[in-house]
Amino acid sequence: MTTPTAWTLTADGVMLSVRLTPRGGRDAVEGYVDLADGRRALKARVSVAPEDGKANAAVTRLLAKLLNVPAAQVELVAGATARLKTFRIRGDTAAIAGKLAAL
């Protein structure tokens, strides 16, 4: 049995599951977390509160910096008001997946 990953490769990039903790004291990625349903997610925290989309914007910037892609290529596609979010990251699929695997 293979270990599930937090990302899925697409034709133009990667779909990434993120478990976000707002008001986390700092902006950081803390590895991966196994979810109750058997899936995995990237564990991230941001220092801002989840008001007016500020936490979503902060995690978008954090992912862009981590994966070395422009913030415009990181798009929140699901979970705008939930802790579990799905992001589409457009770019070099192999490079993005390699960076995610190295975490």
Determine the distance from the C-alpha atom of residue 94 to the mean position of all C-alpha atoms in its chain, rounded to a whole number: 16
pTM of the model: 0.92
Domain assignment of residue 21, yes or no = yes
What residue has token string 């700092």? 26
| CATH label of the domain that carries residue 73 | 3.30.1200.10
CA distance 22 to 43: 11
Q: Residue 86 is part of which domain span?
A: 7-102
> Which residues fall within 8 angstroms of residue 100, CB to CB, at 6 or more apart?
5, 6, 7, 14, 16, 42, 67
pLDDT in 10s for each residue of the chain, 103 residues: 456 789 999 998 999 999 999 998 899 999 999 999 989 999 999 999 999 999 999 999 999 999 999 999 999 999 999 999 999 999 999 999 999 998 8
Domain assignment of residue 1, yes or no = no
- Number of independent structural domains in the chain: 1
